[in-house]
Structure 1
Amino acid sequence: MDLLMQSLTETLDAADYRVQSGRHAVDRVWPTGFDALDEYLTGGFRSGDLVLCGGQQGAGKTTFVLQVARNIARAGRPVLYFCYEHDQETMLIRLLALESGLIGGIEAPNIQRIRRTFEASDGLGRNLGERLADTSGGAEAIEIVREYSDRLVVHRSSGSQTDLDAIKQAIVEMREVTGVSPFVCIDYLQKIPFPGTPNEDERITHVVEGVKDMALDYDVPVLCVVASDKEGITAGVRMRVNHLRGSSALAYEADTILMLNNKYDVVARHHLVYDAGNIERFKHWAVISIEKSRSGVTGVDLEFPKRFDQSRFETKGQLVREKLMDERVFVE
């Protein structure tokens, strides 16, 4: 029988087998590692799903997606990260800062300190671990990254060459090497080329439809960073789904949409006026809103502390208690 056609009896038997053998949770659910988010997503992302991550400039979209990729790889599962914005060394520096922060806390080396280590030119012959030995967690971070580095593959993607066919081929190659399907990250979706469509909305429609089909055909979860339009990058405006750059197909095709905003930019005015201490405090928190979820709860606003100097969020989050607004009406 054609693989695209399956009777409900076959579907039911396959699901029954997965549940009895315990394979369903292992194979199809991919926890993000962010506890509160996984709770409202009923466990995490799912194979075959397209997940979009949008947000304000500087809200931490790449930081979030890379941290999710790290969490999945650290848990023992393969990840394929298509990066149209940065090279592999930049992503490695971010991961080392993240791991250092988890080990050494506020005393750990930040991104700038680790980058200086990578760019050392003194000719003293010391390796990275030796150069970070005097920091809190730096040398240990290198060893931790080595534990999962084979499972986290970063593809230096090109907006002129890395099209959907190239992404599919990389998925096939990684599946052949690891024996299992990888978690796929794309940073970012609007960079994927689609020749012959000069109109941007039309091009993005073809791209997002192709990525969704790919997620289903290859039975992989695909987590994409998505860019915002001009209105969405305006200071003090809360990023919503309608601010995503491109066609309405983005909202239609996605199974899950997460929107990131800086808490200070979206909290209601009275929380700032009557407690001035909140101004500085809220600047250190990000709001992750579940604006669409076909397998979980929609309309949930969660908050997580930002540690961007270490390229990470704290993964222990909570529901936002304060009232949020679509436009900030209070300026310092």
Structure 2
Amino acid sequence: MKTGDAPPTDWGAEGPQGWVQARSLATVSRGLVADVEGAGARLHPVPTGFSAIDRWISGGVRAGDLVLLGGAQGVGKTTMCLQMARNIAASGQANVLYACYEHPDDYVLNRLLVQETIDPTAAGVAGVVGGLTLDELVALMAERNEQVSGKTPLEAVGDHPAGARAIEAVNAYAERFHLVTGVAHRDSIGSLKALVSQHRMRDNQPLVLFVDYLQKVQPARQDLPDEAERVTEVVQELKQLALGANIAVVAIVAAEKEGLRAPRLRFTHLRGSSALMYEADIAIIMNDKWQIIDRDRIVFNIHKSKQYRDWIVCTIEKNRSGRNLVDVEFLKRFEHCCFNPNGEIVAERLYEERIQGERE
């Protein structure tokens, strides 16, 4: 296939929903060359900043990927998703559009500020000394605002040494991090498409769309009373958006009640539809480590049992970019709205592996 040849005559046909174009491989290869020469960054993975995950998904998320992040309530899905978004924006490798359907924009900003008051990668307590918790940050805003007439909440935070560092850090990537917040409204998938389209018109930088969370997104069709049908429609639309707009999409997915009762949450326990399984390129399932660890380790070592509560296990259950069923773990720093992103492979035997071994 010679990429320098004159373009062949491509062809198409009028379908039920408009013109359908067929392109020869020669045309596709010329487009690939143009991408490499013009905007090659779109062909490269964008690291999430969580090293143990990036290592197994071939370096990060890619344009066209739909990444699903699932887990039970309170396991840290929003914390991890927001930290990934922060890492990507801070790296400068892509812009971020964070669509949050559960929290207002000031709540999201406050979590980012708290995260920036510490070094989450530092061992022990060294990295958190002098940092602010979310409650401390909010209290500082309220207290200083009452004491000093006319001072804005952020100015009040800036009077604190850790707060000043946090504001400086957030300002460094603030223009690359865009928020869409509020309750889900009619045809919110259409709104996301319009925002992504607008971004492409005004900025030629790669974009990663984060959705928090998928079941809150309203499909374009309003005649779907069943949640499974709505989720099917939304996940298919998000995958098409990733492919059509040449962006990566990362979406949080909630678990169903049956999954919450299971010994270990799996991809099949995610709420809404089996379409999730087929449309996702990468699926990461989060579980508290203490809940899925081999019980013998907990019974005979109480100290270890307490330590396990500080860790989260992320299982890469589906991975079109490499190996799947990989368990990696990250240290929680929930008081500062983040994880230590320098994770590692889980060394211990986990609950379901033990059960399977006994059955064999």
**TM-score > 0.5, shorter chain as reference:** yes
Structure 1 residues 133, 207: CA separation in 2 closer, same or farther (over 3 Å shift)? closer
Are 1:224 and 2:273 matched, yes or no? no
Paired residue for 1:90, among 107, 111, 115?
A: 107
Report the CA distance shift for 1:215/1:318 in structure 2 as closer, same or farther (over 3 A).
Answer: same
Matching of residue 143 in structure 1 with residue 168 in structure 2: yes
CA RMSD of aligned residues (A): 2.3
Give the drift of 1:100: 0.6
Amino acid at match of 1:82: A
The answer to whether the 8 A contact 1:241-1:291 is kept is yes
Q: Deviations over 1:97-135 (max 9, x none)?
A: 111122852430111111223334415134446534565
Task: Report if the CA contact (8 A) 1:267-1:328 is conserved.
Answer: no
Moved over 6 A (4+): none
Pair 105,136 (structure 1): closer, same or farther in 2 beyond 3 Å: farther
Preserved contact between residue 97 and residue 177 of structure 2 (Cα < 8 Å): yes
Distance 1:106 1:279, change over 3 A: farther
Equivalent residue for 1:15?
32
Matched, 1:265 2:291: yes
| Matched-pair contact (CA < 8 Å) for 1:174–1:181 | no
Please, which runs of 5 or more residues in structure 2 have no aligned partner? 1-9, 13-19, 121-126, 356-360
Could you tell me which of 150, 153, 156 is aligned with 1:131?
Answer: 156
Q: Give the paired residue count.
A: 327
What amino acid is aligned across from residue 204 of structure 1 in structure 2? Answer: V
Cα drift, residue 316 of structure 1: 0.6
Match of 2:53 among 37, 53, 69: 37
The 1:16–1:87 alpha-carbon spacing in structure 2 relative to 1, beyond 3 Å, is: same
- Take 1:161 and 1:84, find their aligned partners in 2: how far apart are those partners? 13
- CA distance in 1 between counterparts of 2:215 and 2:180 reads 16
- Cα separation, partners in 2 of 1:263 and 1:250, compared to 1, 3 Å: same
Distance 1:153 1:310 in 2: 22
Question: 1:47-69 CA deviation, whole Å, 9 max, x = no partner?
Answer: 01111000122111000110110
Give distance in 1, aligned partners of 2:137 and 2:95. Answer: 25
For 1:65, give the aligned amino acid.
C
CA distance in structure 2 between the aligned counterparts of 1:276 and 1:267, rounded to whole angstroms: 13
Structure possessing the higher radius of gyration over alpha carbons = 2
Specify the SS of the correspondent of 1:160.
Answer: coil
Q: Hey, what does 2:140 align to over in structure 1?
A: 117
Paired letter, 1:321: A
Counterpart contact for 1:288–1:301, Cα < 8 Å: yes
Q: Quick one: which amino acid aligns to residue 252 of structure 1?
A: Y
- Cα deviations across residues 43-102 of structure 1 (Å, max 9, x unaligned)? 101101111000122111000110110011101121001100101000000000111122
After TM superposition, give the deviation of residue 327 of structure 1 in Å: 10
For the residues of structure 1 that align with 2:240 and 2:32, how far apart are their CA atoms? 21
Does the 8 A contact of 2:42 with 2:63 survive in 1? no
2:349 to 323, 326, 331: 323
2:353 & 2:257 partners in 1: Cα distance?
15
Amino acid across the alignment from 1:254:
A
8 Å contact from structure 1 (residues 259, 288) kept in 2: yes
CA–CA separation in structure 1 for the residues paired with 2:354 and 2:106: 37
Shift in Å at residue 310 of structure 1?
A: 0.5
Equivalent position to 1:163, from 170, 181, 188: 188
Identity rate, percent: 37
Mean alpha-carbon deviation: is it higher for 142-151 or for 125-134? Answer: 125-134
Q: Which amino acid in the other structure matches residue 33 of structure 1?
A: G
| TM-score normalised per structure 1 | 0.91
Counterpart residue type for residue 152 of structure 1? F
- Please point out which of 83, 95, 107 is paired with 2:130: 107
Deviation for aligned residue 1:15: 3.4
The DSSP-based 3-state class of the residue aligned with 1:38 is helix
Alpha-carbon separation, structure 1, partners of 2:154 and 2:101: 29
Q: Which amino acid aligns with 1:110?
A: T
Are residue 296 (structure 1) and residue 312 (structure 2) matched?
no
**C-alpha distance in structure 2 between counterparts of 1:87 and 1:243, whole Å:** 28
Secondary structure of the 1:48 match is coil
For residues 153 and 230 of structure 2, the distance between their equivalents in structure 1, rounded to whole angstroms, comes to: 43
Residue 111 to residue 18, structure 1, CA distance change in 2 (3 Å): same
- Farther-moved stretch of structure 1 (136-145 vs 295-304): 136-145
Q: Aligned residue for 2:6?
A: none
Q: Once the 2 structures are TM-superposed, how far is the Cα of residue 156 of structure 1 from its aligned partner?
A: 1.2
1:81 and 2:74 equivalent?
A: no
